Structure 1
Amino acid sequence: MDPVRVIARDRVDILGEGLFWSVRDGALLWTDILGKRINRLTPATGQVESWEAPDVVGWIIGRASGGFVAGIGRSVASVSLDPFSCETLATIPGEPEANRVNDAAADAQGRLWLGTMPFACDGPTGAFHRFAKGSFTRADAAPYTIPNGPAIDPEGRFLLHTDSAMGVIFRYPLEDGLLGKREPFISFEAGWGAPDGMTFDAEGYLWVACWGASCVTRFAPDGTPVRRIALPASQISNCVFGGPDLDRIYVTSAADGVEEAQGGALFEIDPGCRGLAPFLYQD
């Protein structure tokens, strides 16, 4: 049986998301989108801290120059935690007021890849953007309903992204900050849940949070599912490697709309493999 631990804390997340392991701080950062909170776990002490954000907050990512950047509302903001401060860097152009940021990742060159979506999850009014040197570019012409899980393979050749509403993980060739033609990579079958947040391990295998299926699933480089780790909550939203040796997987979940003892909990898994240190945003 795969060991799964529930992280002890005094609250659960309405919609946990946006995980980031800070090598610099030896800490895990994540967000509660609907709870408008940024959270930090320091595994060495077990301390969990939480700060209230000015709006819904989709993700938080380390910044090469210090501190963090976060997706807040329909903007990218500079964030410091000790003490807490938040300053808008740029607002995504052309986004409807009914939209918000969702998930994001940085690449090796320090660019951000981020999705937007409607609050109501009721139609393809969202988009997939690139944010680099203070400017936004529409990265994919396709509309999105629930964009999730940007992840870049360990060799930097491909970017994976999904629209959870479609149940498909797409793969794009990635070269010089541009995305090539989008191709279906993994189509989720009945019973797999919906693909949500995702991350690569050091062996090039993909780990995917499976919303509605109470698990994370490991996929081989050819897209074949090879392992499933069950979790005691149904709405599994994101996963990331962390810990001093990057040999733990932290997993977020959501309490919104369910009556579950561990809905909205943060989980720690011993996966028996290691991940890679995440990239930082570079101004």
Structure 2
Amino acid sequence: MAPVPESVLSVGATLGEGPVWVARDAALWFVDIKEKRIHRFDPDLGVARSWDAPGQVGWIVPAQDGSFAVGLQSGVHRFDPDAAGFTLLHAPEADRPGNRLNDATVDPAGGLWFGSMDDGEEADSGRFYRLHQGRLTESGLPPVSITNGPAVSPDGTLLYHTDTLGRRIWRTRIAADGTLHDTALFAEIEDGAGYPDGPTVDAEGCLWTGLFAGWAVRRYDPAGGLMAEVRFPVANVTKIAFGGPDLSTAYATTARKGLTRDQLLAQPCAGDLFAFDPGARGQTSYIAAI
């Protein structure tokens, strides 16, 4: 039988994004970009805690010293949950005030990959970056309007990155020095199926992508072939993360953004955090060496 996603946290996010399972906390962390909120969900207790951010927050990942790296509109910050404090580390696009940071992942070496985007979702001003041990570099990938991902293969040699408005997911090889080579189209979402949002790669090297306005998440094999689709009771599925002690539960963030009043009435769980059995296990969430 097909998995049936169920709401596990009624958070009503305007734009839920960036879920990541943090093993040291045994908790799922995620953000609500438009409401400028960071959320922590403890599934064993069924409770959540939230923090206000000083700007639109696109992602959160664990960092080496027990803190977190977060992507605000103004740049990459260190976030201390105990003090509820934010410290700016890098402002890669201080000259582009219309941009914001949008999605991120950490590779096996601790490198933090993240993207930017036009907050107005029109101009091709979004770029991808890597931050590792204090060194920030631009990827050299072509700019697009809305970046999503990146996501990294289990062996750390492939980078998947998404052009959301172009409905394309690309795959690029990562060299030992972190440079990128040999970009090729990995998958293209057909008209009417929604827009590819946040990608995640499982332990088998298969890619999962949320479909914004597509009512689903999809799983693709390492060659780009469609393997499965999991349907949701809400239209805007943004990203999944694998969690739980054996990384066998899929958690999915969703969004209310762009829905009319009538659509919201028909989708009372829009913006909630969902969970389902994916029939696969996830990769370990690596710690960012920022």
TM above 0.5? yes
2:36 is aligned to: 36
Residue 234 of structure 1 aligns with an amino acid whose one-letter code is A
1:228 is aligned to: 229
2:21 aligned with 1:21, yes or no? yes
Aligned-partner SS, 1:129: strand
2:191 aligned with 1:190, yes or no? yes
Alignment of 1:102-113 (within 5 A): 102-113=102-113
Q: Which runs of 5+ in 1 are unaligned?
A: none
1:90 is aligned to: 90
Measured on the aligned residues, the alpha-carbon RMSD in Å equals: 1.3
1:282 is aligned to: 289
Structure 1 residue ranges, 4+ long, deviating more than 3 angstroms after superposition? none
Aligned-partner SS, 1:121: coil
Larger strand fraction of residues = 1
Aligned-partner SS, 2:34: coil
Contact 1:128/1:144 (<8 A) preserved = no
Contact 2:74/2:94 (<8 A) preserved = no
Alignment of 1:129-140 (within 5 A): 129-140=129-140
Residue 271 of structure 2 aligns with an amino acid whose one-letter code is G
Contact 1:90/1:135 (<8 A) preserved = no
Residue 265 of structure 1 aligns with an amino acid whose one-letter code is D
Q: Which runs of 5+ in 2 are unaligned?
A: none
How far 1:71 sits from its partner (Å)?
0.3
Structure 2 distance, partners of 1:238, 1:156, is 20
**CA distance change for structure 1 residues 95 and 250 in 2, over 3 Å: closer, same or farther?**
farther
Alignment of 1:1-283 (within 5 A): 1-9=2-10, 11-93=11-93, 95-175=95-175, 176-258=177-259, 259=264, 260-283=267-290
**CA distance change for structure 1 residues 141 and 275 in 2, over 3 Å: closer, same or farther?**
closer
How many residues end up aligned between the 2 structures?
Answer: 282
TM-score by length of 1: 0.96
How far 1:83 sits from its partner (Å)?
3.6
Residue 279 of structure 1 aligns with an amino acid whose one-letter code is Y
* C-alpha distance after superposition, 1:196-219 (max 9, x if no partner): 111111112111111111101111
TM-score by length of 2: 0.94
Contact 2:93/2:99 (<8 A) preserved = no
How far 1:28 sits from its partner (Å)?
0.3
Structure 1 distance, partners of 2:202, 2:60, is 20
